[in-house]
Structure 1
Amino acid sequence: MGSIYLIRHGQASFGAEDYDVLSSLGERQSTLLGSHLAQTGLRLDRAVSGSLTRQVHTGRLVLEQFGQAPALETDAAFNEFDAEGMIRALLPALLPSEPQALDVMRNAAHNRDEFQRLFVNLIDTWVGGDYDAPALQSWQAFLDQVNGGLQRLLEQAHGRERIAVFTSGGTITALIHLLTGMPVASAFAMNWQIVNTSLSCLKFQGARVTLASFNSHAHLQLLNTPSLITYR
């Protein structure tokens, strides 16, 4: 069987003007993962990243730790959904019941718990489809995007190929939902537990794909440094 290693990007710049940049910790997490995988003797036949900066940078830092590594390709199908666009589109309808929401979102780094609570509320609305925002990519369209990327991988794969995919938490959540049939709410409950630079493994044989492991982050746990383990 072949293997697809879904790797979440390193810590990004939450609360900064540009989220789509790895923090210094995110860079370290990525380097640690690459070193760990190389030490285990893993050999990669192919490496694919979404086109977002944090995904590509993670991929490059990981692959630099290998003596021999495939060139990093990009496929925007593995991009994260547009969280900022979703917030802009859906937040106004939330303000009557959550008048503080705008201030929380503007100062997310200082209101992490409240941000998460409101973000989950917005995700529920987005997934449920009960809104009027034609320009916003729907949950179903996002699922189709991610599934398209997976199908391209499978169509191009050969036998026991080992493929690394550098992506994001929402993309991994969509794949888990698609492959297991897990309810969306349950899949997103798992989403909030996905650690930066964690590794989830899919096994495939032809067009058949199964989830083999989820959210492994031994490369961080073994260092016994809790500050290395982040979720955003």
Structure 2
Amino acid sequence: MGAIYLIRHGQASFGAADYDALSPLGFEQSAVVGAELKRRGIEFAQVRSGTLARQRDTAATALKALGSAAEVVEDERWNEYDHVDISRHHADGAPQQDGREYQRLLDAALTAWVESGEDGPCAESWPAFLSRCTAALAELAGSLGKGENGLVFTSGGVLGAVAGALMGVPDAGLRKLNRVTVNTGITKLVSGRGGVTLLSFNEHPHLEGETARLLSYR
């Protein structure tokens, strides 16, 4: 049975002019998760990444540590929701200053975004976001042969929505799981005749012990 490994990107630049850039810590985390995948001895037939800089740079750094020359196929369906647009419409902008206060405002904004459904003011609605994420997963699962593994570099909101959808509660997944995802956490799905099943969520043993200083949520 093949597996699909979903990796959240490394730490981005919260509060900076360009949030999408990986921070120095983010590059360290990306190398460490690549080393963790190498330790597990996994070979990947398909590698995907969103088109955001933080996702692409995490992929490149992790694959280098993994020692893989696999081609990374970029697919914007793996991109994160537009937190700036959502915050603008549902949280009066939610400036990226204090992390806890920002999280509180973002949680409320995401709830409003979900509840507004297809008629919300944002450029991308919650149903559209969920549809593209699940479609990207279905496409990847369908492209894998028997026993083959896939690898994806994506973001916390995508992870929460996909994991929630696989458990039948996509809304709760976005609102509850998204906020606890760690940078470069590993979510493992198994793909077989019965479809795709969530096996583990947000694994991060590579960020414990001697590397515990690398653990971050934002």
TM bin, normalised by shorter chain, reads over 0.9
Match in the other structure for 2:215: 229
Would you say 1:43 and 2:33 are equivalent positions? no
Measure, in 1, the Cα distance between the counterparts of 2:22 and 2:194: 34
Q: CA deviation at 1:228?
A: 0.9
Q: CA deviation at 1:206?
A: 3.9
Q: CA deviation at 1:151?
A: 1.6
Q: CA deviation at 1:133?
A: 4.6
Contact 1:11–1:25, Cα closer than 8 Å, also in 2: yes
Measure, in 2, the Cα distance between the counterparts of 1:51 and 1:118: 26
Would you say 1:26 and 2:10 are equivalent positions? no
Q: 2:198 aligns with which of 195, 199, 211?
A: 211
Amino acid at match of 1:76: E
Contact 1:154–1:207, Cα closer than 8 Å, also in 2: no
Q: CA deviation at 1:154?
A: 2.0
Range with greater deviation from structure 2 (113-122 or 55-64): 113-122
Measure, in 2, the Cα distance between the counterparts of 1:51 and 1:209: 24
Match in the other structure for 1:149: 136
Match in the other structure for 2:159: 172
Measure, in 2, the Cα distance between the counterparts of 1:46 and 1:185: 29
Measure, in 2, the Cα distance between the counterparts of 1:81 and 1:228: 25
Contact 2:12–2:22, Cα closer than 8 Å, also in 1: yes
Structure-2 change in CA distance of 1:8 and 1:88 (3 Å):
same
Deviations 1:99-156 (A, max 9, x none): xxx5xx33x23x2211111111111100111796545211100011101111211221
Measure, in 1, the Cα distance between the counterparts of 2:182 and 2:121: 32
Measure, in 1, the Cα distance between the counterparts of 2:44 and 2:189: 14
Amino acid at match of 1:229: L
Q: Which runs of 5+ in 1 are unaligned?
A: 93-101
Q: 2:185 aligns with which of 189, 198, 208?
A: 198
Deviations 1:149-173 (A, max 9, x none): 1121122111111111000000011
Contact 2:188–2:199, Cα closer than 8 Å, also in 1: yes
Structure-2 change in CA distance of 1:151 and 1:40 (3 Å):
closer
Q: Structure 1 length as normaliser, TM-score?
A: 0.88
Structure-2 change in CA distance of 1:49 and 1:71 (3 Å):
same
Amino acid at match of 1:128: E
Measure, in 1, the Cα distance between the counterparts of 2:118 and 2:67: 50
Measure, in 1, the Cα distance between the counterparts of 2:52 and 2:200: 25
Measure, in 2, the Cα distance between the counterparts of 1:130 and 1:46: 33
Q: Which runs of 5+ in 2 are unaligned?
A: none
Q: Report how many aligned residue pairs link the two structures.
A: 218
Q: 2:104 aligns with which of 117, 130, 134?
A: 117
Structure-2 change in CA distance of 1:180 and 1:131 (3 Å):
closer
Structure-2 change in CA distance of 1:207 and 1:131 (3 Å):
closer
Measure, in 1, the Cα distance between the counterparts of 2:198 and 2:23: 29
Identity of matched residues, %: 39
Would you say 1:64 and 2:64 are equivalent positions? yes
Measure, in 2, the Cα distance between the counterparts of 1:5 and 1:131: 30
Q: CA deviation at 1:186?
A: 5.2
- Aligned Cα root-mean-square deviation (Å): 1.8
